[in-house]
């Protein structure tokens, strides 16, 4: 059984004839310690997928399992790094990072020490007492990552975390993330629409196509890191993925038959809810 298993997830918003199928029959597996990137154009439901894995949304059908057990709502074992960071504005950088520890009842001394350590690890030693509005976009995302790491999640979820920073900062942040991933041996599920970013980071790439969100293809990226050392291969991959993405974007809208609730007798034994 895979470490993290997304099984036939379907998500439909709304009821009756006006419903919007956002995701249909998405399945993917993530092995422990793997860095999986979900790549897709806008509207393919990749954020919804991540929210379902994080437990912030409920699927209409299908299940998500972690270490074989179905997930129950949200939890720190699947910490999420949001696109806008969502740092608590009333807390300093250090207290933001310490938040997840405070929630667990860990004492102030210990949490401050852990937060300090993590912030240093992410290159933010001088920034501990600063408030989010005093930090640059790149620094804020680093704090957000440190905050998620602080709770020692089983799976680190990231929803286009570098989409709103400039290209230079983005490159630095990508390198940071890779370094963290390797040091802490985390399992990562990362969502983006940026092909180059996906290629730099992923062990495995899952390409989604929109209307409704479905898996178009999966790719194993056997390229060693740092990937910039292999420009030719990267270029080839980029071309291929651009083609795939273009096809995905131009794919016609597929109307999905209205989901009918299945009676227990009709369910196949493998699709356990």
Partner 1 sequence: MSDLGKRLRGASLLLVLLVLWELLPRLNLVDPLLLPPFDRVAARWAALLMSGELGAHVVISLLRVLAGFVLAALTAIPLGILLGLRPALRERAEPLLGMLRPISPPAWIPLAILWFGIGNRPAVFIIWMGTMFSLLVGVLGAARSIDSRWVKAGLTLGASRRQAVRLVILPLLLPAILTQLRVGLGLAWMCVIAAEMVAVRQGLGYLMIQARNLFQTDTVLAGMVTVGLVGWALDGMLGIVERRALHWREGTEAHGFFERATDH
Count of residues in contact with partner 1, rule CB under 8 A = 29
C-beta of 91 vs 217, nearer to partner 1: 91
**Closest by alpha carbon to 92, among 126, 119, 129, 117?**
129
Could you tell me which of 56, 49, 62 has the C-alpha nearest to residue 22?
49
Site for partner 1 in 45-74 (CB under 8 A): 54-56, 74
Q: What is the dihedral of CA 226, 125, 189, 51, to 10 degrees?
A: -150
Any contact of residue 145 with partner 1 (CB under 8 A)? no
Determine, following the binding rule CB under 8 A, whether residue 11 of this chain makes contact with partner 1: no
Interaction between residue 117 and partner 1 (CB under 8 A): no
In the structure encoding, which two tokens stand for residue 226, read together?
């740092």
User: x/- string (CB under 8 A) for partner 1, residues 70-109?
Assistant: ----xxx-xxx-x-x-xxxxxx-------xx-xxx-----
Closer by beta carbon to partner 1, 151 or else 209? 151
Q: In terms of CB distance, is 12 or 92 closer to partner 1?
A: 92
Closest approach, Cβ 105 to partner 1, in A, equals 10
Alpha carbon distances (Å) from 73 to 54, 59, 153, 193, 213: 7, 11, 15, 26, 22
Provide CB contacts within 8 A for 216, sequence distance 6+. Answer: 207, 208, 209, 244, 247, 248, 251
Asked if residue 131 lies in contact with residue 123, where contact means CB atoms within 8 angstroms, the answer is: no
Query: Least distance from C-beta 174 to partner 1, angstroms?
Result: 22
Q: Name the residues that contact partner 1, by CB under 8 A.
A: 54-56, 74-76, 78-80, 82, 84, 86-91, 99-100, 102-104, 131, 133-134, 147-148, 151, 157
């Amino acid at each position: 059984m895979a470490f993290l298993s997304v099984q036939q997830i379907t998500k439909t918003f709304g009821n009756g004839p006006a419903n919007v199928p956002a995701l249909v029959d998405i399945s993917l597996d993530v092995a422990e310690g793997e860095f999986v990137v979900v790549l897709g154009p806008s509207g393919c439901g990749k954020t919804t997928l991540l929210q379902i894995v994080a437990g912030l949304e409920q699927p209409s059908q299908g299940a998500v399992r972690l270490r074989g057990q179905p997930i129950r709502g949200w939890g720190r074992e699947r910490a999420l790094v949001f696109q806008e960071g969502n740092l608590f504005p009333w807390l300093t950088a250090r207290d933001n990072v310490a938040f997840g520890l405070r929630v667990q009842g860990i004492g102030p001394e210990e949490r401050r020490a852990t937060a300090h350590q993590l912030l240093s690890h992410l290159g933010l030693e001088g920034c501990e007492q600063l408030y989010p509005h005093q930090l640059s976009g790149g620094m804020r995302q680093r704090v957000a990552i440190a905050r998620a790491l602080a709770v020692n999640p089983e799976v680190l979820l990231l929803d286009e975390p570098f989409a709103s920073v400039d290209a230079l900062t983005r490159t630095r942040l990508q390198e940071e993330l890779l370094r963290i991933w390797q040091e802490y041996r985390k399992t990562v599920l990362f969502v983006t629409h940026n092909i180059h970013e996906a290629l730099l980071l992923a062990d495995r790439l899952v390409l989604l196509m929109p209307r409704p969100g479905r898996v178009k293809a999966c790719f194993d990226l056997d390229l060693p890191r740092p990937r910039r050392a292999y420009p030719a291969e990267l270029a080839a991959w980029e071309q291929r993925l651009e083609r795939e993405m273009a096809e995905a974007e131009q794919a016609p809208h597929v109307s999905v038959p209205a989901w009918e609730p299945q009676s227990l007798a009709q369910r196949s034994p493998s699709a356990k809810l």
